[in-house]
Amino acid sequence: MNTTKKAKTALISVFNKNGLEPIVKKLQDLNVEIYSTGGTENFIKNLGINVIPVENLTSYPSILGGRVKTLHPKVFGGILARRENAEDLSQLTTYEIPEIDIVIVDLYPFEKTVASGASEQDIIEKIDIGGISLIRAAAKNFKDVCCVSSINQYEDFLKIISENNGEITLEQRKNFAAKAFAISSNYDTAIFHYLNKNETAFRASFDAVSTLRYGENPHQKGLFYGNLEDLFEKLHGKELSYNNLLDVDAAVNLMNEFKNDAPTFAILKHNNACGLAQRNNLKQAYIDALAGDPTSAFGGVLISNKEIDVATATEIHKLFCEVVIAPKFEKEALEILKGKKNRIILIQKDVELPTVQYRTALNGLLFQDKDNKTDNQSVVTKATIKDPSEKELEDLFFASKICKHTKSNTIVLAKNKQLFASGTGQTSRVDALNQAIEKANHFGFDLKGAVMASDAFFPFPDCVEIAHKVGVDAVIQPGGSIKDQLSIDYCDKNKMSMIFTGTRHFKH
């Protein structure tokens, strides 16, 4: 059986006419008979190319305000007929239905209409019925029909028919079919998310895919589904790896806590902040962030909430780092940072971040709202006799923001809006605290007057006792343990202040 087929007929019905002209002209050169509808039909006529209105085929005009144009057996019969099936071909003859070899359709812009803030009625009218049906029918019958389902496929399609005199192989038709069902799936998912309010089912769809060098390790395959260009403008450097992307995600979410604050700089490694500071100028914020753990900063991801200037870039350039992210870069600063050819430099665009998270677990998915709650003055309650000072309060909320974005169990120690150290991913809170203290001491920080943040409550007073003995006098924690009073009593006895947020910030 010859699986390469030369097209004789085509049905074209598209919303967006950009890029269609060269295809239509090539089909004319190949003596392909063209059927079309409405605006597409007029577009083709205006090019001086013969076109047969679909209504001539169906004997029905476009009705219901354009909702029904192609939904007819004489259209779908010509698309779905199996060319090797004698009975199918006999019925085409009986009912005077022409075979349709090519279907070129793009869908109404549903997602763009939703994003525009249009009325519900306008949005509903952008739910394509005829187009999606044509796509599914043509893709289903890929053995005989080629389905071009997006403007993004025009160039490939034109190249194929131009180079092969209108002949299209089975492999090419099957490839177009796969893309067609990807279009269909994505379209239906968008509609589902617009209408679904009850979370009775989960659907996700991404059109863009990037092949990564590998996953977390070289023996693992890695892919990224999504369009990074929506969030970043890449200015320089090698391609982002799987691990880079995880660290960049952690960096972006952490810095979002400080988006509108004074100059703030963070350095992350393995999804955790190893340095973070807030200062009156960005250079000093970077220097003090680096001081938090200059060892771990090697090969890390750096992020700023302000434009990176020359002075800051000059300091950064002394460090080997994988990624630098900022809302802007001064021109000369950018040239300095480009001095390392593999260093990835990203401008973060001011776009809204996702509000939900999901991840694979066992044989399914875990789904949750993102932890978008930030501890501040309005949510805390006083737990101890002593109140934290104004300066301590600022440091407590600073530490709490970092704690929220650090792997559990975690303890964060901070002072003067600088991360001194954190204990990350420990199996006990005492271990996390001891790790943080050891690290702070190793890098020469004086913990006297530092504050402590915990991502969850203290079931015993051991942590506040250990912290107090190294100089910590103020604590922020969720509270909620049945033994909270033990920690409160220790603080009161030792003139420490402690505030409760009422919100746990586990990050597993």
Residues carrying an active site annotation: 140, 270
Give the bridge partners for 269, in sequence order: 272
Residue 59 CA, chain-centre distance (Å), reads 47
Task: Give the sign of the dihedral formed by CA 266, CA 267, CA 273, CA 279.
Answer: negative
Q: For residue 456, what is the DSSP state?
A: S
Q: How many CA atoms lie within 13 A of 18 on its CB side?
A: 5
Can you state the angle between helices 73-80 and 86-94, rounded to 10 degrees?
Answer: 150
Q: How many residues in the chain? A: 508
DSSP letter for each residue of 47-100: TT---EEHHHHHS---BGGGTBSS-SHHHHHHHH--TT-HHHHHHHHHTT----
Q: 3-class SS at 493?
A: helix
Closest by Cα among 341, 313, 356 to 199: 356
CA dist 211 and 8 (Å) reads: 37
CA dist 276 and 282 (Å) reads: 11
Burial class (CB in 10 A: 0-12, 13-18, 19+), 346: buried
Q: 3-class SS at 434?
A: helix
Burial pattern 270-292, b for ≥16 Cβ within 10 A else e, equals: ebbbbbbbbbeebbbbbbbbbbb
3-state SS of 18-62 is CCCHHHHHHHHHCCCEEEECHHHHHHHHHCCCCCEEHHHHHCCCC
Q: 3-class SS at 215?
A: coil
CA dist 265 and 319 (Å) reads: 14
Residue 215 CA, chain-centre distance (Å), reads 17
Which residue bears the tokens 């995880």?
246
